[in-house]
Amino acid sequence: MHVTRIIHLIALVALLGAAAGPTIAQDDATGIVADPCASEKTPEQLPSGQWNAYIFARDFGKLCQYRVQNAELMKPGSTPPRVVFMGDSITEFWGRQHAAFFTQGKVDRGISGQTSAQMLLRFRQDVIDLHPQAVHIMAGTNDVAGNTGPSTLQQVEGNIASMAELARAHGIRVILASVPPAGHFPWRPELQPVPIIGALNHWMQDYAARNGFTYVDYYSATATPEGAMKPGLASDGVHPTRQGYAVMEPLAEAAIQQALGPAP
């Protein structure tokens, strides 16, 4: 997503939020400040229905979400993560459903609802600054769903490529994860995601091969012939169940070993 388009989106949401009520318009953190997170409100502090507009306009990339956890990982004497998992709700819920998977240096940095543009915005803070050995990038589901507006396939590919190339420039091994299958999106039922997901995964696999990155194919292991999630592997056709993550985890471990070698 082009920077000018992101700015226009943020400005539009801020305008709509201000029109809906005074809370968003009276935010005291404006421009360059010492700590944008210090004055960030919680959903309970806002009128009903304003939270999404508020956070979208104020913290588009949700850089405040993992700030405290990142600071703990960067304390002097701390061991850097082995692998950071960058992603959306599929990654975030993975940690919630099976916290035991995120051991041996694996760190979850998924944020529900995020598109690749939002992940790119927080990539330095949530990945590069942590100095992991590798990053596992799973992005694209919410781009296909249009969570932050329309975009071209090339823009989404560019966001993913930018994250991968930033990681490589900082000596971080790259694992690119396929977009998991989805026959439909419950929050956008009018869309037909199957062909777009297929095209994005085809590009990603080719891009990974051309650049020496590791590609992990969750799609083939979890998809029906029609491109939907296999029965029992997702709670809503998109988000994996514990059984779905159980299918994905050995593939993730194999990809990590391919990228880094066996765990010490």
The pLDDT assigned to 5 comes to 52
The pLDDT assigned to 15 comes to 42
The pLDDT assigned to 262 comes to 79
The pLDDT assigned to 19 comes to 41
29 in the same domain as 103: no
14 in the same domain as 82: no
The pLDDT assigned to 16 comes to 41
207 in the same domain as 224: yes
131 in the same domain as 35: no
What's the CATH number where 121 sits? 3.40.50.1110
Indicate left, alpha or beta for 85 from its phi (over 0: left) and psi (-120 to 50: alpha). Answer: beta
Domain that holds residue 32: 3-58
The pLDDT assigned to 142 comes to 98
Q: Is the pTM of this model over 0.85?
A: yes
| Domain tally, the chain | 2
The pLDDT assigned to 62 comes to 96
Regions of the chain with pLDDT less than 70: 1-29
213 in the same domain as 92: yes
108 in the same domain as 36: no
Distances (CA, A) of 159 to 123, 151, 163, 177, 197: 11, 11, 6, 14, 15
115 in the same domain as 7: no
The pLDDT assigned to 30 comes to 79
256 in the same domain as 141: yes
Domain end point (choices 15, 30, 58):
58
The pLDDT assigned to 17 comes to 41
36 in the same domain as 89: no
Q: Which residues fall within 8 angstroms of residue 118, CB to CB, at 6 or more apart?
A: 60, 61, 62, 111, 148
Give the pLDDT confidence of 199-253 residue by residue, as tens digits: 999 999 999 999 999 999 999 999 999 999 999 999 999 999 999 999 999 999 9
The pLDDT assigned to 23 comes to 42
